[in-house]
Each structure stands twice: as structure tokens, then as C-alpha cells.
Amino acid sequence: MDLSIAKKIEITDKPLFNNYFLKLNPQISELSFTNLFIWRFHYDFLYIEHKNHLIIFSKSYLNKWKKPKSDKRDVIYFLPPIGPTPDKIIFELFETLNNIEIHRVPEPIINQIRESETVINFNLEFFDDRDNWDYVYNKQDLISLAGNKYRQKRRWLNKFIEQYNYEFNIITEELIDKARKLQIEWCDKNECQSNEDLLEEQKAIDEAFDNYIKLNLKGGILCVDGKCVGYTLGEMLNNETVVIHIEKAHIEYQGSYQAVNNLFLKNCCETANLINREQDLGILGLRRAKE
């Protein structure tokens, strides 16, 4: 396997990637072209095609942003191979390359690897990555917010609806600048300039807005008395799942996060049954909100 022929991800690669994803029916949020593209500079993603598989990796991510599981240096970060037999390609990766880790591997592929006779030839270790578990919900549950589980979210939503004179719109090309302005305001209030993680996220959000139409993103923007107070960006991850990539709101408008999410789901992506709200990244506030 020759990694030296790898290419950087460009917007023109969308048809190629989507062709692989359509066959895969991806379940995890990273495996969408949008996610890979808007975060490509953060991860320094590269890709090759090998034996009818798309292989995505980074030579620098584990040295620059995330500590590898081992104490080795120059560990290469891989996402699971995308193609008909990812387990076989994973064995090939471990056989031909030194110092690699494969992240975000779906449970069915893990089970295939564990059950394979080939696994005895490798000293593989498996780790749960709790911080990167995706949160997946039934769409109707998030729309109705019925029952005790969603009681607090329902209260915040009702408070917003009762308290504010609001307007919600699906983001079109004409509304992108309003969403950008809201994001800049949010960043100022949350001191992005002094937070490296938020700065990296801002770069990804800029990429999303710059390529909103080409990426076929779906978004919603929420305004109160003409002032925009929340927005969300997502897309179809597979035939039945919407993935929410970005969601921001001004918390001084009580219930704004609950409102922008609820109104977006009511007005977008009618064919979806499931909602993937990505990971909590080990951030306690996000974990509480998503659980």
C-alpha cells in the first residue's frame, strides 16, 4: 500500500466520496464528505483509493492535536476504510504499516475483525472511545419532546415560544450572510480568540458557509424581533438519518438552542427518521445536553 500517492481532499472530490458513501450507508458522523471537507485542514486529511476502498488518514493529527494510544511517535491516524471488505483492508494496514491507529470504527467492523481467523496473527488492542460516541435520536421524539426524559428540553422550548416574537427560516443562499454574522457574534461572546478549539471550529464553520450550496447543506436560522439568535447546519448522512454538524445560539434568549433544533427538524429533511447530533468530545456541558 503506497501512501505516497495520497491526495488532499478538495471540493471537487465530493462525487467520488459520495459514491463510496452511498454504497456504505454510513452511520457515524465523520463519514460524510461535508465533515471530512470542512475539517480537512484541522486533521490534515489525505486519501487514497486502494482495492475498491477509500482510505482516509492523517500523518500529523495524532502528533498535533490528540495523544495517540501508544507512546510511539509519528503514529498515523486512520478512519475505517470505506468499501466492501473494510476488515480485510484493516488487516492489510496493520501488516504493511508501522505505528498506526484506526479510529471511529463501527461495531459491526470490530466484530468482523474479532471473529476473523486472521486476528490471531496480530497483536491488536481495542479501545472504547466514549468521548466520540455519536448521539442518535428518533426524529419524532425530538420534535414532540414527550415524556419525562425530555421534560427539561420541553420546558425550555415552551418558554422560548411563549416569551419571544420569533421567526424561523430555512437557510437559503440569501440568508448565509445573516448566519455568518450570528456566528461572528457568538464567537465574540464566547471568546473564540482565546480558545484554540473554538478557533479551529470557526475555520470549519467558515468552510461550511463558503461551500454551503456545493456541499448541499441544510440549515435553519432563528430570529427574534428581527435579530438572529440561533442557527443550525446539517445534512442527510444516509437514507434515514440527518446529521447536525453545527448548532449555535445566544443563550441570553432562553430556550434558543431547543427552539432552533426543534423548528429545524419540523421544517427540514422530511424523509429522515433518525437524528445524529454527533459527539460530546468529553465536554461535560455537551454531554449533559445530549444525554
SS (H, E, C) 93-154: HHHHCCCEEECCCCHHHHHHHHHCHHHHHCCCCCCCCHHHCCCEEEHHHHHHCCCHHHHHHH
Cell 427540514: give the residue: 268
Measure the CA–CA gap between 251 and 260, rounded to whole angstroms: 12
What radius of gyration, in Å, describes the C-alpha atoms of the chain?
A: 20
Nearest of 90, 56, 59 to residue 73 by alpha carbon? 59
* Single-letter amino acid, residue 236: M
Assign 291 a pLDDT band (cuts: 50, 70, 90): low
The boundaries of every CATH 3.40.630.30 domain in the chain are 3-127, 136-290
Q: Report the chain's terminal Cα–Cα distance, integer Å.
A: 41
Rounded mean pLDDT of the chain? 91
Measure the CA–CA gap between 14 and 37, rounded to whole angstroms: 9
249 or 117, which is more confident? Answer: 249
Tell me the average pLDDT across 56-60: 96
Measure the CA–CA gap between 145 and 149, rounded to whole angstroms: 8
Whether the Cβ atoms of residue 46 and residue 8 lie closer than 8 Å to each other: yes
Report pLDDT digits (tens) over 148-193: 999 999 999 999 999 999 999 999 999 999 999 999 999 999 999 9
Q: Considering the domain 3-127 in this protein, what is its CATH number?
A: 3.40.630.30
Assess whether pLDDT exceeds 90 at residue 1: no
pLDDT at position 284 is: 57
Single pTM value for the model: 0.91
According to DSSP, residue 69 is labeled S
Assess whether pLDDT exceeds 80 at residue 279: no
Does the domain spanning 136-290 belong to CATH 3.50.50.60? no
